[in-house]
Amino acid sequence: MPKSPASLALAGGPPVRTQPFPSVSGPAGRTLGDEEVAAVTRVVRSGKLNSTVGTETAEFEQEFADYYGVPHAVASSSGTSAIHLAVAAVDPDPGDEIITTCLSDAGTVLPILAQNAIPVFADVDPLTGNLDPASVRARITARTKAIIVVHLFGIPAPVAELRQIADAHGVVLIEDCAQAYLTRCAPDGALAGTVGHIGCFSLQQSKHITAGDGGITITADNALARRARLFADKAWPRDTDERTHLFLGLNYRMTELQAAVARAQLGKLAGVVEDRRKSADALTAAIAPLPGLTAAPPDGTSYWQFPVFIDESLAGDNGHGYAEALVAEGIPASGGYIQRPLYLTPLFTELRTYGDSGFPLSMPTAPRYVAGLCPRAEELIIGGGLLVISWNERYTADDVADIAAALRKVHTAFTSR
């Protein structure tokens, strides 16, 4: 890498920002307040902290279902468990395939393996990081059972087209909406999570709303909802007053404390997303004149983070170089989002699953997980085509102005080298 100009903080120049930004890791970047304190107090004083005896979880499920206009919502202990409920509802046989993305948190993929199905990775659109329908279509086989699409960073994925593909092949479309509360999808503005057969959300610390951890799975399909609900509670049909277990399930129950906090947070969701979008619009406008830097398409995006897609030939460096320079300027940023595509982690390259068996990845039908499998995703992650700037609803106009100033400063320095 060429030497950085002296004006950059990397080379000893003064940074744009010296004060920390509001962070989702603490109260400055969260909308937690008296409502959540009252909710927790209410549950503790009730003495009913478990959802099998309390009412908070059931009420949160109903409120979330009403919010999204669907008949069913099933709460669980985490965003990963919400996806596991969806995969378990699909009920794949060992060796069945589920197509998904390699550009995501591992929570998207681990439930596939936990149900002894095989992840098949499709490539992404280089301007959004979301699944490319053509790549998905090319990977469908007779063993395909489902597709899991991620709305990365809250950018709407092409779920209408993916739903058509799923329906044409008789498979289930699962939407991972962990980063996509109130994301609106083309062509009609439908909420992410309601276009596919099942939608999954996370209440983890960093998400638009939080209960520390927690998940919620929504669907309009009665059979999928029934199986998801049973799976979250050891397949125990409590509604029939039988102590029996109808199939292999786990305990993924949400606690009453989580549900109470989630209910308070749900009432703030629209404002959270509105604030994130408003500040993101200002940064998008600031980036527009900078050759080689492209912000996420704003239509429908709910901005879990603020992604920037980089053309190194015009921007003077890639996302990794920009991230290093921005961090030195006091801006929270990272290149590539994750260090490597999920299929290049030891889980896949070394078949680290159940003991030494490697199952189900050791099955003869399993693909080989090697470099080059999804070249466009690899370019975003490893090649630095993607820069990610931390984001939350507490950013002020001054915060956004500092980020914009740092981007202009770094861009000027890199393009003049």
Ordered by start, the domain boundaries in the chain are 34-267, 269-336+383-415
List of the chain residues with pLDDT < 50: 1-2
HSE value, Cβ hemisphere, 13 Å, CA-based, for 388: 21
Judged on CB neighbours under 10 Å (0-12, 13-18, 19+), 168 is: exposed
- Classify strands 333-335 and 293-295 as parallel, antiparallel or unpaired: unpaired
Separation between Cα atoms, residue 104 and residue 343, nearest integer Å = 11
Q: What angle do CA 40, 176, 355 make, to 5 degrees?
A: 90
Identical topology for domains 34-267 and 269-336+383-415 = no
Place of tokens 């962990």: 178
For the segment(s) 34-267, the CATH number from 3.40.50.2300, 1.10.10.10, 1.20.1050.10, 3.40.640.10 is 3.40.640.10
What is the domain class of 269-336+383-415 according to CATH?
alpha beta
Which helix (H) or strand (E) segment is 171 a member of? Answer: none
At residue 1, the pLDDT reads: 45
Contact 124, 130 (CB under 8 A): yes
Contact 333, 307 (CB under 8 A): no
Contact 7, 413 (CB under 8 A): yes
At residue 4, the pLDDT reads: 58
Which helix (H) or strand (E) segment is 175 a member of? Answer: strand 172-176
Phi-psi domain of 98 (left: phi exceeds 0; alpha: psi -120 through 50; beta: other): beta
Q: Got the DSSP string for 309-342?
A: EE-HHHHSS-HHHHHHHHHHTT--EEESSSSS-G
Q: How far is CA 282 from CA 11, 81, 293, 402, in A?
A: 29, 35, 15, 12
Please choose, from the candidates 406, 367, 379, 396, the residue with its C-alpha nearest in 3D space to the C-alpha of residue 118: 367
